[in-house]
Amino acid sequence: MDGNGRWAQRRFRPRVFGHIRGSSKIKPIVREANRLGVQALTLYAFSTENWSRPEAELSVLWRLLKKYLIREADELDRNNVRLRIIGESERLGSDVHAVLGPVVERLSKNTGLQLNFAVSYGSRREIARAARLFALDCMNGKRSPEDLAKNETLLNDYLWTSELGALSDVDLVIRTSGEKRVSNFLLWQAAYAEFVFTDVCWPDFTLEHLTAAIQEYSSRERRFGGVSAPATQNVWPNPVPQQN
């Protein structure tokens, strides 16, 4: 969800104004993703590198996250959405945990859209952590290094996304704000993802932009390193309903 700061600065407003406007876009996008039949949606809300931002900006970001969770828990539950946090949850403040814990618990039985907030998330840290956990399992005899040689996907079980199972493989990454970088996001999981880059900053990202990105995705041929597949292979699980 990139571009909040620049969106605000272009309007001669403080960066946090962009975060406030940006956070208001989460609700409609989540609702629409659910309606379109998206099975898993991960929002990159805060990276491990974002900790270097000024304290005042950080406190607004945490306040907005808590506000979102408090406001939206009912609707998410009604819509059968399950919520997870991926990232270094141990670095989040006790105030964030106090709000987050009960909401995650409340939605934990839901089977619809699997909504993930990447918070204090960094993919290199995630992979390094997975390697460490795997090594520990080798030391205590639960695994052997050869297991990984036979089946590289074993490492999935050690990532923050492990609970998502097959859904942890990313189909589509949408990056807003004109940047054309991966920025330490789901490096392992997005190995064969399609990327859609848009110049639109996150506070201006609408349902139409989402639909357009999914349609762009649907028109791509995914070969996964193989040869041409039948043209129908890449149709979105559910046809994109017409807007009215």
Nearer to ligand IPE, 42 or 156 (CB): 42
Smallest gap from residue 7 Cβ to ligand IPE (A): 6
Which residue of 26, 33, 41, 61 would you call a contact of ligand IPE, by CB under 6 A? Answer: 61
- Closest CB to ligand IPE among 205 and 217? 205
Instruction: Name the active-site residue from 34, 50, 156, 169.
Output: 50
Secondary structure, 3-state, the chain: CCCHHHHHHCCCCCHHHHHHHHHCCHHHHHHHHHHCCCCEEEEEEEEHHHHHCCHHHHHHHHHHHHHHHHHHHHHHHHCCCEEEEECCHHHCCHHHHHHHHHHHHHCCCCCCCEEEEEEEECHHHHHHHHHHHHHHHHHCCCCCHHHHHHCHHHHHHHCCCHHHHHHHCCCEEEECCCCCCCCCCCCCCCCCCEEEECCCCHHHCCHHHHHHHHHHHHHCCCCCCCCCCCHHHHCCCCCCCCCC
Is residue 4 a contact residue for ligand IPE (CB under 6 A)?
Answer: yes
Q: Decide: is 50 part of the binding site for ligand IPE (CB under 6 A).
A: yes
- The reply to whether 88 sits near ligand IPE by the rule CB under 6 A is no
State which residue, 39 or 50, has the beta carbon closest to Mg ion. Answer: 50
Catalytic site includes residue 50 = yes
To ligand IPE, the closest distance from the beta carbon of 139 in angstroms equals: 37
Rounded to the nearest whole angstrom, what is the least distance from the CB of residue 15 to ligand IPE in the complex?
6
The residues annotated with a catalytic role in the active site are: 2, 50
Residues that bind ligand IPE (CB under 6 A): 1-6, 19, 22, 46, 50, 61, 177
